[in-house]
Amino acid sequence: MIVKSTERNGNEATIVVEIDKELMESGVNKAYMKARKNIQLPGFRKGKAPRKMIEAMYGPHVFYEDGLEEIFPEVYDFAVVKQELKAVGRPSLTDMQISDDHIVTLTLTTEVYPEVTLGQYKGLEVEKAEAAVSDAQVQTELDRMAENVSSTEVVERAAQMGDTANIDFEGFEGGVPFEGGKGEGFDLKLGSGQFVPGFEEQIVGMTAGEEKDIDITFPEDYHKDLAGKAVVFHVKLNKVSVVNVPEQDDEFAKDVSEFDTLEELKADIRNKALEQAEKQAASAFEQLAVEKAAENTTVDMPKALVEAELDTQMERFAYQLQMSGYSMEQYAKMMGGDVNTMRNAFRPAAEKQAKISVTLEKIVEVEGITVSDEEIEAEFKALAEQYQLELDKVKEMVPMNEITGSLTTRKAVKIITDSAIPVAPKAEEKAEEEKKED
């Protein structure tokens, strides 16, 4: 092969390459061998038609496009990789000329990795929230622990607010049952506001085995089929239960932990929560520092890089949905759109992450960041432990360039973060953080 010319215009490169007859012939013949089993010509059994007969009927270059596909890896390596063009995505064929002596000249166009100009990435002033744990957070965790060891007791008395009423019910509009208005053996905590306003209050005072009709008028902002309508629910109370939550004292602390006193338990909860808060603050600080470094970078981002990042984010989200039992299409429909709508919603985040990625890669280059064989081996071992797989299996599954890329990127992040200067959040940001803690 011969590269006749290479021109770069911004993020796009055009390469003109001439392919020798022998290489092209090998690709065309492979394409013919694959295609002939589906071709039938008069006088020949299906799959037995000679190549020259097919070419005579359909044209001498009928297999050239598929033939080019067969040899494309070799063409790509010669015309792009060896020319040190860092292509983004697959090059597109914009022209193919075939001479009388069967020499093929291709014109390939590809997006290439952009020119990246770093701005300030060291010594950045970055907001960092102070890690803190409120008394309310500690109490919330104590309440959760108490709830976990609580017990339920059936009581023989009239239902009260705070009780759990087990009920059968059916709703009627004008004497006719309506859809979604029926349930059996339903546990309803009175006062929870789980049912339509006025329903739970009318359960109060009922005893086990009692049945009654409850008159309800649905709110005007309720489901359109029932909004503002007066209905009747026929209700039977099966049983009344109360939840016995233990008192939070030293005995409680002994029951739910290794500590002898409630104060020791509280201190442990606070320390663990503070440790978690410090990790979250450090992670947020790191993310903000990296984002700020990327904001200072100048780059004309190729569309292919953004689309690749968008594909990654969509695949990750689809996997999360799958774990919850939904498909992307189902979720999109529930949100009132389609998959394209969701993809567009993800685009700003993908553009942001793509710029972060090229910024970190440029820092790796500028700083001359490398990784040792020992670091690579340690990373493989860590992955093997994380996924509980044999080390050799992990090495087969994970490409070496992914490991080295991950390690060098982390080092670039560390350069940004270690040199960043923490500053107090702005007043409005601090107030919002305090609100979240409460």
Chain segment 214-267, per-residue pLDDT in tens = 999 988 887 777 888 899 999 999 999 999 999 999 999 999 999 999 999 999
Structure tokens at 170: 């059916």
289-324 pLDDT, tens digit each: 999 999 999 999 999 899 999 999 999 999 999 998
Q: How many beta carbons lie within 10 A of that of residue 415, not counting itself? A: 19
pLDDT value of position 295:
97
Mean per-residue pLDDT for 21-48? 87
pLDDT value of position 383:
94
Q: What three-state secondary structure class fits 216?
A: strand
Residue 416 has pLDDT above 70, yes or no: yes
Residue 335 has pLDDT above 90, yes or no: no
Query: How many angstroms separate the CA atoms of 342 and 333, rounded?
Result: 10
Which letter, b or e, does each residue of 15-40 get, where b requires 16 or more Cβ atoms within 10 Å of its Cβ? bbbebeeebbeebbebbbeeebeebe
Amino acid symbol at 369: I
Amino acid symbol at 311: D
Q: Where are the beta strands (DSSP E) in 48-163?
A: 87-98, 104-112, 116-117, 125-127, 151-155
pLDDT value of position 438:
52
Average pLDDT, the chain: 91
pLDDT confidence tier of residue 205, bands split at 50, 70 and 90: very high
355-395 pLDDT, tens digit each: 999 999 999 999 999 999 999 999 999 999 999 999 999 99
pLDDT value of position 9:
86
Given a contact cutoff of 8 angstroms between Cβ atoms, the answer to whether 376 and 369 are in contact is no
Q: How many beta carbons lie within 10 A of that of residue 129, not counting itself? A: 20
Q: How many residues does the chain have?
A: 438
Query: How many angstroms separate the CA atoms of 262 and 255, rounded?
Result: 11
Note the pTM of the prediction, 2 decimals: 0.72
pLDDT value of position 436:
57
Mean per-residue pLDDT for 62-78? 89
